[in-house]
Amino acid sequence: MKAVFVTGTDTGVGKTIVSAGIAIVLKKKGINVGVMKPIESGCGFRDGRFLPKDALFLKKASGVDDPIEDICPYPLSYPLAPKVAASLEKREIKIDVIKNAFMRISSRHELTLVEGIGGIMVPIIDDILVVDLIGMLNIAVVLVTHAHLGTLNHTLLTIDKLKTRGIDIVGIIINHIQAKEGLAEITNKEVLKHFTDISILGSIPYLRKRDLNHLSHIFEESINFSPFLKH
């Protein structure tokens, strides 16, 4: 396993924090880990440059010195699907640019984490969805899902689509993005285990701002890292 694509069942499920947490722990374990966020929408702009905050967060978490232009080839201003945002900004997204940046980064590192944008059916350009990009990169997937009501449908649909495309799924990470714990949050993990043969690598507890300084400990306690160490 030379690279892993961290995708989600939807936007806002915590792909960035999960990618960063994995990168921090792998680095601690002595793995030379690289990171990518090929497309990031909703970026700020300062001093004539885009500020892809998620990509910069991943760069800081992993401690890499790769140029941000390789980590995030396409920062976009509008917080929309890449195809829509790029069209509004009159910019062209080229898949070859993403693939070439991926090849450069993956050649420098033992394991590269590629964070997606939104879910797997988000359009990148006219005829290319995120799931198509995963197939083009020919890498396995870690699926991040939330814990609350609705996750069963979103997760099982995403797994079904990935399997249909022949994409290997390393495992599922459940991220608790709400502080309140109801019956859905308590029961969903066991129901997912029943309806899929995909390994659940663990559950991330609800994180507050102060917890960001302790991601290494939290992730080591919460996630099974053995699949990432078998490369």
Distance CA 161, CA 156 (A): 9
Distance (Å) of CA 178 to CA 13, 36, 106, 215, 216: 10, 26, 34, 17, 21
DSSP assigned state of 2: -
| Predicted pLDDT at 213 | 84
Give domain status of residue 85, yes or no: no
Catalytic residue among 15, 37, 59, 83: 37
Contact 21, 218 (CB under 8 A): yes
Give domain status of residue 184, yes or no: yes
How high is the mean pLDDT of the chain? Answer: 95
| Predicted pLDDT at 211 | 84
Q: What is the pLDDT of residues 159-216, one digit of tens each?
A: 999 999 999 999 999 999 998 889 998 899 999 999 999 999 999 999 987 888 899 9
Cα atoms found within 13 Å of the Cα of residue 70, Cβ hemisphere only: 17
Give domain status of residue 11, yes or no: yes
Give domain status of residue 83, yes or no: no
Give domain status of residue 155, yes or no: yes
pTM summary value: 0.95
Give domain status of residue 70, yes or no: yes
Distance CA 46, CA 63 (A): 23
| Predicted pLDDT at 125 | 96
Domain at 7, CATH number: 3.40.50.300
| Predicted pLDDT at 25 | 96
| Predicted pLDDT at 74 | 98
Q: What is the pLDDT of residues 40-69, one digit of tens each?
A: 999 998 888 899 999 999 999 999 999 999
pLDDT at 231 over 60: no
Q: Which domain holds residue 133?
A: 3-40+52-76+94-229
CA dihedral 47, 77, 3, 19 (to 10 degrees): 90
Give domain status of residue 56, yes or no: yes
Q: Please count the structural domains in the chain.
A: 1
Answer yes or no: 37 catalytic. yes
Residue found by looking up tokens 């990171």 in the block: 35
Give domain status of residue 134, yes or no: yes
